[in-house]
Amino acid sequence: EDQVTQSPEALRLQEGESSSLNCSYTVSGLRGLFWYRQDPGKGPEFLFTLYSAGEEKEKERLKATLTKKESFLHITAPKPEDSATYLCAVWGGGSNYKLTFGKGTLLTVNP
């Protein structure tokens, strides 16, 4: 069974203080790893898809990286508007449709 563990559960940063969120996974045949952002009262919003170890993707202050066991979401010089819950999900070999999600990391960026 695919498993995803995200750490830390919650993270408080000062504006401008860079940090990283971790997503560790076990999956039989990783076909894709996804990062989503979820604001309170809203559905998750797609950020990135990573397909193979060594791959990196960037969007504004966010950069996602992937190894064979984990993914990191690096946040550089965060702003208060980056405050949200960040979700990681994996797509394994057992289904063409099923994503297995982690519980998420709640990020709060204080001004």
Partner 1 sequence: ETGVTQTPRHLVMGMTNKKSLKCEQHLGHNAMYWYKQSAKKPLELMFVYSLEERVENNSVPSRFSPECPNSSHLFLHLHTLQPEDSALYLCASSVGGSSYEQYFGPGTRLTVT
Interacting residue ranges for partner 1, rule: CB under 8 A: 4, 31-32, 34, 36, 41-46, 49, 87, 89, 91, 95-104
The residue (of 39 and 81) whose beta carbon lies closer to partner 1 is 39
- Minimum separation from the CB atom of position 104 to partner 1 (A): 8
Contact yes or no for 105/8 (Cβ under 8 A): yes
Q: Is the peptide bond before 8 cis (omega within 30 degrees of 0)?
A: yes
**Shortest reach from residue 50's CB to partner 1, in Å:** 12
Distance CA 41, CA 77 (A): 25
